[in-house]
Amino acid sequence: MIVGGGAAGWITANTIAAECSAWDDPGLRVVLVESPNVPTIGVGEGTWPSMRMTLQRIGLSEDALVRDCDASFKQGTRFFGWSAGDSVDGYCHPFSLPVEYASLNPALHWLAQDGGASFAQTATPQALVIERGLAPKQASAPQYAFTVNYGYHLDALKFAALLRRHAVDRLGVRHIAGNVERIDSHPDGDIAAVVLDTGERVEGDLFVDCTGQRALLIGEHFGRGLTSVKDLLFNDAAITVQVPYADPNIPIASATCATAQSAGWIWDIGLQSRRGLGYVHSRVHTGEDSALAALKSYIARTSPGADPHSLTYRTILFQPGYRTEFWVGNCVAVGLSAGFVEPLEASALALVEQSAAIIGQQLPRDRQIMEVVAKRFNSKMHYHWQRILEFLKLHYAISARDDSDYWRDNRTSASCPEGLREKLTLWRQQPPWHDDAPRIDELFPSASYQYVLYGMGFKPRYIGAGKVCDDQTRKRAAEVFHNTRRKAQQMAQLLPPNRALLRSVAQRAIEQSGRPAT
């Protein structure tokens, strides 16, 4: 029983149904209950490369995604103004790992160089691909194949609708429309059923709470509160807006643009028909009127032909934090009901994917097995949330900005997680590598820390490649960097612009299905 729709609910429904499609058990049913009158937040427009694997596992066509969800290809994030706040302050966090990263730590050798290309440009060809707004592959490439790693930007509401159709029509998920009026429990405390305002009583063995920030099951029923992280990550509101393109042929960025502001940052996501923008900010450090004015100023500066005053704005409030427990009894929280800190680096849907995959792959056959699965799930999710906090805080903690209380407060030791403080102390001596993100299921590999650290100008105190590397290793590093530059130039010549590939994919989807985009 999945209670709640949206992207979280329907990703979970599809994943469980697909994982268990081979079960020889006629009693296994996947049911999703969705309120017909509770609106979806609908601003989760960024995904990671993991979404490609998720869509493949559930059997959904990439062409259909591009056609039906106004989707574009995302290759990472470009940051502007985070380090110093001046006109030349910018860097890239691409999705591709540095070339030969498994056996060669590029930061060790890049730090020994005197000037030259940025770290991302030195480590991966994708930095140049992103900078030039190019696609991650050629039009002839198969679905989900790639030249450089990528995820998606998409319309969250259209994405949920596509997932719903696929789950119901292809995977046999039962969809029930109704509002939960009562939750019935077994004597041992497990949930027995949800009773809807239609009068229907829907029983289940495992209940997945996808009811968003309300957290109807895990929060209201089981009383599991949030572990607040407001003292570490200050942002607790976002003003969002959709900006149409003045010219339908305007290039589409290959990455999310994140531009720092005096009390937060603005995301800028390019879809096929529009851009999605939002000013994520701390209400302690700025008022709503000032935040709205800053967003309108950004639109006026970056959107020729757009009238910022004619657009529709929406304010979303959130409590940065995560549940004290994610799986209680026979109920597990997925999505916003499990927690949310802020949209920086788009970790929300990635956590949904990972949670749904664990549930589907380890779906317990009986209540005793559920106890073990729940214990492991809680341990893994707590680990992931701690790593998310550290990685997101890194973007703020090493900033050199001193133009507002927001940035000064973000740099204080008290607002930095202990684990990150320890890492930064060690990284004064040596760059991050595999020991800094040792698990196979890390959400952020150590390369991600390198992209942010050295993109923002972090300077170690004691490092020297000549003192820790032999001549053969330094020679190999120089060859890798040379080949990376050569590959980047080759890709720049061969890859089409992002919009050109999207048009080719959408047209192919229309021709194969015989119907236009929805």
Q: Are 140 and 46 in contact (CB under 8 A)?
A: no
Among 207-221, 405-419, 450-464, the minimum mean pLDDT is found in: 450-464
CATH code assigned to 2-45+155-229+320-385: 3.50.50.60
- Cβ atoms 484, 148 nearer than 8 A: no
Q: Where on the phi/psi map is residue 65: left (φ > 0), alpha (ψ -120 to 50), or beta?
A: alpha
pLDDT tier for residue 468 given thresholds of 50, 70 and 90? low
Beta strands 237-244 and 72-74 are: unpaired
Mean pLDDT score of the chain: 94
- The total of other beta-carbon atoms located within 10 Å of residue 398's CB is 21
pLDDT at 465: 46
Distance CA 87, CA 172 (A): 53
The one catalytic residue among 74, 137, 393, 487: 74
Q: What is the model's pLDDT at position 67?
A: 94
Judge whether residue 73 has pLDDT over 90. yes
Q: Is the pLDDT of residue 8 over 80?
A: yes
- CA separation, residue 2 to residues 31, 165, 211, 212, 280 (Å): 6, 16, 9, 12, 30
- Dist. CA 336–CA 377, nearest whole Å: 16
Instruction: Please tell me the pTM assigned to this model.
Output: 0.95
The residue among 33, 59, 286 whose CA lies nearest residue 177 is: 33
Q: Is residue 485's pLDDT more than 50? A: yes
Confidence of residue 264 (pLDDT cuts 50, 70, 90): very high
Instruction: Determine the Cα–Cα distance for residues 3 and 334; give it in Å rounded to an integer.
Output: 10
The predicted pLDDT at position 313 comes to 97
Listing DSSP states for 15-52 in one string gives: HHHHHTTT---TT---EEEE-SSS-------B--THHH
Q: How confident is the model at residue 517 (pLDDT cuts 50, 70, 90)?
A: low
Q: Give me the mean pLDDT over the 486-515 stretch.
A: 90
Q: Angle, to 10 degrees, between the axis of helix 348-361 and the axis of helix 367-397? A: 160
Q: What SS3 state is found at 322?
A: strand
Q: What is the pLDDT of residue 516?
A: 65
Segment 35-40 mean pLDDT: 80
| Each residue's pLDDT tens digit, 123-175 | 999 999 999 999 999 999 999 999 999 999 999 999 999 999 999 999 999 99
* Phi and psi, residue 36, nearest 5°: -80, -10
Here the tokens at position 10 are 């329907």
Under the banding of pLDDT at 50, 70 and 90, the label for residue 463 is low
The answer to whether 74 is a known catalytic residue is: yes
Average pLDDT over residues 449-466: 85
- Would strands 331-333 and 207-209 be described as parallel, antiparallel, or unpaired? parallel
Q: In the sheet where 226-228 sits, what is the strand order?
A: 226-228, 321-323, 339-340
- Residue 512, amino acid: Q
Q: What is the pLDDT of residue 24?
A: 79
User: Mind listing the pLDDT tens digit for each residue in 306-343?
Assistant: 999 999 999 999 999 999 999 999 999 999 999 999 99
Contact 100, 181 (CB under 8 A): no
pLDDT at residue 40, as a whole number: 67
Residue 233 has pLDDT above 70, yes or no: yes
Q: Is the pLDDT of residue 461 over 90?
A: no
Sketch the domain layout of the chain as residue ranges: 2-45+155-229+320-385, 237-317
pLDDT of residue 466: 46
